[in-house]
Amino acid sequence: MATYYAVHPKNPKRRSIGQAVDSVLSDGIIAYPTDSCFALGTRLGNRNGIELIKSIRQLDHRHHFTLVCRDFSQLGQFVHVDNTVFRAVKAVTPGSYTFILPATKEVPRRLMHPKKKTVGVRISGHPVAQELVQMLGEPLLSSTLLLPGEEEPLTDGRAIADRLGKQLDAVLDSGDCGTEPTTVIDFSAGVPEIVRRGAGDTSPFE
């Protein structure tokens, strides 16, 4: 059963975040807030956790998981970013964007797009998400908490714990963080392609 943590949206207590990080490092799955909506997260190398997230969301092998990174230094370990793309991404980061970029050898093949060899990356502006990846020391493998058959992601931490508590290890709740997923920009061909219009302003990429 998931442990529920109520945390401050701007100044989260490190103890609660640390306990959630411990769950991740023990190959658990957590639900946590971002600057677009709630997400499911697990450790990058947690094969069983990845399959469970796919099961919860009923995803197929073509789904792009997202690596939520601490900063650009960490992001650069997992994706190839040339100078032009770097400047474009830097201008709107941290923020409500996911960028699809060519993966480096640090990314397990099972997380890449099967044909394009790409992966999604983002740097969240939400203090809870930032503290999580800072304490974790590695990217948090994530997917929007959007359940099958529902049009909007779940927004209430208690409801998430009630509905998914048997499948999750921890729920971090800092209040409503919105229902609109990130804007997704595909830079795998070197120029921006808007894949999904979401919480992030698309005008810089049009």
110/139 Cα distance (integer angstroms):
16
What CATH number was assigned to the domain covering residues 3-205? 3.90.870.10
The angle formed by the CA atoms of residues 8, 66 and 60, to the nearest 5 degrees, is 125
Whether residue 9 is predicted with pLDDT greater than 90 in this model: the reply is: yes
CA distance 182 to 36: 6
Q: Which residues pair with 183 in a beta bridge?
A: 97
Confidence (pLDDT) at 157: 93
pLDDT digit string, tens, across residues 44-97: 999 999 999 999 999 887 777 899 999 999 999 999 999 999 999 999 999 999
The CA dihedral of 2, 53, 68, 21, to the nearest 10 degrees, is 30
CA dihedral of 104, 88, 140, 161, whole degrees rounded to 10: -150
Classify residue 114 by its DSSP letter. T
| Domain edges within the chain | 3-205
Q: State the average pLDDT over residues 173-180.
A: 91
pLDDT at 202: 97
8 Å CB contact between 147 and 159? no
- pLDDT for the residue numbered 77: 96
Residue 161, pLDDT > 90, answer yes
Share of the chain above pLDDT 70, in %: 100
The strand ranges marked E within the chain are: 3-6, 30-33, 38-43, 66-68, 97-102, 118-122, 140-144, 170-173, 183-186, 193-196
Distance separating alpha carbons of residues 68 and 62, to the nearest angstrom:
19
CA pair distance 160, 190, nearest whole angstrom: 38
Q: Which residue has the tokens 């946590």?
A: 32
Per-residue pLDDT band for 5 (boundaries 50, 70, 90) equals very high
Q: What is the mean pLDDT of residues 123-147?
A: 96
Task: Identify which has the larger pLDDT, 115 or 166.
Answer: 166
Strand 140-144 versus strand 30-33 pairing type: unpaired
pLDDT of residue 101: 96
